[in-house]
Structure 1
Amino acid sequence: MGKNKNVIIVGGGIVGLSSAYYLQKEGHNVTVLDKSEMNWGASYVNAGYITPSHIIPLASPGMISKGIKYMFNPVSPFYMKPRLDLDFMKWAWYFKKSSTTAKVKLAMPLIKNINLLSRELFEDIKNSGDLGDFHLERKGLLMVYQTQKEGDHEMMVARIASDMGLEVTNLDSDGLNKVEPNVKFNALGAVHYECDGHTTPTQFMERMIDYLPKCGVKINKNEEVLDVSVNGNKITEIKTNKASYSADEVVFAAGSWTSMLSKKMNIKLPLQAGKGYRINVESPTNISMPAILMEAKMAVTPMQGYTRFAGTMEFSGINHTIRKKRVDAIAQGAERYYEGLKISEEDKSNAQCGLRPVTPDGLPYIGTSEQFENLTLATGHAMMGWSLGPATGKLVTELISDKKLSMNIDSFAPERRF
């Protein structure tokens, strides 16, 4: 087998573009199809974190009871909109089944390993000079807490992370002020995960979109896949609103929309869209350290040109409705932690949202389809899509190129049983 396959990638987010990046380096002919203008969505509005520290999957003990408690509060950080939708109800049942201590224990090293692989690949991309000098910093991530309860919980996670070889420091309020000297925190302390990094996502995406066509990758924007033709266990044709394509290999990397594509082919892929919001503040905030504000369940990232405040996990189906109450809750949450911070009405009115694809067990779907030998699925990264983009692209490329995999991905099998 080997070189020069024609590969169609459906989806132009971080996972799709990372796949294109590594596939073209292996000599494949790559076409990326995306139904949008490729300037919005989850790959553009995320917190930009590279997070080996995020070892605990979303599906963990207690999350369902929290979800039920939050369900009737539309400004809560974790919101499941009650709805009679069979796919959602099945997904919620699988999520409940996955939320066990034993399953979390199995997931943690896998999440850590793929994050460390991806962190290394971000560095490699930067060092290659392919995308020019893009923003990539390794200052770590502060988990900032205002209550001892949250502090104790995070210290327990920190001990596990430390035992797994990740660099972690506990900071009291004085230690916090030393690490972030130009702002005054209203907090008891923080856990500093020195292993983490951060980027400016829009900048990285724009550089990728600029670089890939120079290497022969075709990027077709505003092109939606309408139908997929199959013959036996192979995909033979991809039909869009503009053209039809035949390919040796197909990659579904369409984020939250991947389950809809899979449905056309009778592949059951339990996946729900988890909506997140972001506010960019362009005026100076003096914030220099990425931080997660624990009780508010939100993220703060100093990016090039602005400080980003991001948060919420809203399960309300595939829609881009911006709920003002939820945006206000993010702004108010941030203002409670940083003394003197004021997020303007204008900044709030420019808020955007994106849909993260969430699997029931918190592990991504990365692998070859059981039913179609020339289909690779790459989605379901939940809140770690940005962090895991390069690693996923590399693994997709190794699968398609019949190369030794950088890590064991059996647990990421797309058609696994829950």
Structure 2
Amino acid sequence: MSKKQTTVIVGGGIIGASAAFFISRHPSFDPQNHEIVLIEAVAPACSASGKAGGLLSKTAFPQSLGPLSFELHAQLAKEFDGENLWGYRRLSTLSISGTDKPECSPVSLPEELGWLKPNIVESVDYIGGPEEFAQVHPFYLTNFMLDHLQKKGVLKVLNGKVTELLGNQDGECIGVTYIPNPNTSSSFVPSIVEGSANVHNVQKLINVQGPNSQNNIPNQSSYLNGGVSERIFADTVIVAAGPWTKRLISECPILGIKVPSITVKPTEPVGAYALFTDLNLGEFGRVSPEVYPRRDEIYICGESSDDPLPETADLITVDDRYAEAIYQYGSALSDRIGNGQINIKQACYLPVVDSPYTSGPFVGRSNVRNLMIATGHTCWGINNAPATGLLLAEILFEGRAHTVNARGLTPAAFFDSSKALTIIE
């Protein structure tokens, strides 16, 4: 029996999960002849893919990915009951300006925005409606895709930290070296599909897999103490490790920008309106929190910080000062937030391209044969993940992308990945 064609994906965020998902759905994928192995250092969706707001936009940047990916989200939600399994819903977005200064002239708010304090809102501008905007809970979506593929028997998920990209004497990528995490089994994705759970009763999974919640204190990564490394050989390696991509490919111009956030259980439900704000709040000065109401909670994120990227995502720290400030921003906007309860305090790192030549993201072939890269999606990673996965699947099986215009995204055009290889005999 001939050896299966193996694709190794490095990174268990929504980009890696989407890559696995769309590769498995490509017409040329045959479980008898192909296998997908995904290696994740900490847990699926443990950074931005689990702790982002999950806003989707038909006009998301770049144009080559955003509109298509928005439609793919809608198709997936319809096919797999995304409304119940990962909180998919259409919504409207607004721009809110306000101040807590006494001279503020309150505006007349429509009934659906009655949960905002009228004496703080100076202006409300409509950005777009349900035909252009939607939302998901990215933690549940990422885990759904991985769990779904495992149940179908087309994906193997390993818990370990990839330390090397392996190359042969011809300069081709032939696999990876990784250190298995001794604290978990080889398959560690929670079961949250086919009615086994939904967005209302698996909040506890965040506390298990999201080490940055207020109920979990990050511990020193088990990998820092070393371990016995293993090699996996592959026909194709896809690095989708977000800002950690630079740890494997030093020439990749990626930065990790830390973004703190909280989720709040409001005293009463609020409408399906995402808010981009510009607030002048006394002691805090001018701040711009983003507010994303979900069906059973409100997600609020604040300004980024310059904390350096840790070795692994389980070492991301949560600063109570940031969390409290974000809560105060929300409380200034609404009593339903101010009198509500903080569910989770968390932080994540967004992968941001640091190059004078492109804003990214990088998706596609590197200049090393058999090595593909998908990173640098910034705040649009959740939105653009499905189109990214589709692009990678088409390149893998067809040699080029035809559904997605990959011009301007190809990693090989912007940096050299050859130095990342550890050459073996």
Conserved? CA contact 1:298–1:309, under 8 Å: yes
| Residue type of the alignment partner of 2:377 | H
**1:61-119: CA deviation from partner (whole Å, max 9, x where unpaired):** xxxxxxxxxxxxxxxxxxxxxxxxxxxxxxxxxxxxxxxxxxxxxxxxxx234211111
Q: Gaps spanning 5+ residues in structure 2: where?
A: 100-105, 181-229, 280-286, 311-315, 416-425
> Matched residues in 1 for 2:149 and 2:382: separation?
18
- The offset of 1:251, in angstroms, is 0.5
**What secondary structure is seen at the aligned counterpart in 1 of 2:159?**
coil
Of 230, 236, 258, 2:167 maps to: 230
TM-superposition CA deviations, 1:229-268 (whole Å, max 9, x none)? 10223111211113321111110001110111113xxxx1
Counterpart pick for 1:303 among 294, 305, 308: 294
Match of 2:155 among 218, 239, 261: 218
Can you list the C-alpha shifts for 1:124-173, whole angstroms capped at 9, x where unaligned?
Answer: 112222868432111122222227xxxxxxxxxxxxxxxxxxxxxxxx94
Give the partner amino acid of 2:238.
V
Per the alignment, residue 274 of structure 2 pairs with 290
> Which stretch of structure 1 is more off in the superposition, 315-324 or 379-388?
315-324
The 2-side partners of 1:54 and 1:395 are apart by 17
Report matched runs for 1:1-400 at 5 Å: 5-26=5-26, 27=29, 28-38=34-44, 40-55=46-61, 111-129=62-80, 133-134=84-85, 135-146=87-98, 173-174=107-108, 176-185=109-118, 186-187=120-121, 188-194=123-129, 195-231=132-168, 232-242=170-180, 243-263=230-250, 268-288=251-271, 289-295=273-279, 296-319=287-310, 320-339=316-335, 341-342=337-338, 347=342, 350-360=344-354, 361-370=358-367, 372-400=368-396
- Give the match's secondary structure for 2:342: helix
Which amino acid letter does the alignment assign opposite residue 407 of structure 1?
Answer: V
Once residues 171 and 380 of structure 2 are traced to their aligned partners in structure 1, the CA distance between those partners, rounded to angstroms, is: 31
Q: Deviation of residue 32 (structure 1)? A: 0.6
Structure 2 residue matching 1:356: 3-state secondary structure: strand
What CA distance in whole angstroms lies between the structure 2 residues aligned with 1:209 and 1:417?
Answer: 30
Q: Secondary structure at the match of 1:392?
A: helix
2 CA distance for matches of 1:201 and 1:343? 26
User: Percent identical across equivalent pairs?
Assistant: 23
Bigger share in strand? 2
TM-score, length basis structure 1: 0.72
C-alpha offsets along residues 196-235 of structure 1, whole Å, 9 cap, x if unaligned? 1111222222322321102223343431112221022311
Q: Which amino acid aligns with 1:355?
A: Y
Encode CA deviations 1:260-305: one digit per residue, 9 max, x unaligned: 1113xxxx11111011122111243432222122343222122243
Whether contact under 8 Å (1:362, 1:381) holds in the other structure is: no
CA–CA separation in structure 2 for the residues paired with 1:127 and 1:21: 16
- SS of the aligned residue for 1:214 comes to helix
The secondary structure found in structure 2 opposite 1:30 is strand
Q: Which runs of 5+ in 1 are unaligned?
A: 56-110, 148-171
By how many angstroms is 1:51 displaced?
A: 2.3
User: Retained in 2: the 8 A contact 1:37–1:221?
Assistant: no
Q: Residue 61 of structure 1 corresponds to which residue in structure 2?
A: none
Asked if 2 retains the 8 angstrom alpha-carbon contact of 1:284 and 1:306, the reply is: no
CA distance in structure 1 between the aligned counterparts of 2:321 and 2:125, rounded to whole angstroms: 28
SS at match of 1:325: helix
Compute the displacement of 1:343 (Å).
6.1
Alignment check: 8 A CA contact 1:368 1:375 kept: yes
Quote the Cα distance in structure 2 between the aligned partners of 1:217 and 1:304: 32
Are the equivalent residues in 1 in contact too, given 2:256–2:350 (CA < 8 A)? yes
CA distance in 2, matches of 1:405, 1:330: 43
Secondary structure of the residue aligned to 1:329 is helix
Q: Indicate how the Cα distance of structure 1 residues 297 and 217 shifts in structure 2: closer, same or farther if over 3 A, else same.
A: farther
Gap change, CA 1:297 and 1:227, over 3 Å in 2: same
Write the letter of the residue equivalent to 1:34: E
Pair 312,259 (structure 1): closer, same or farther in 2 beyond 3 Å? same
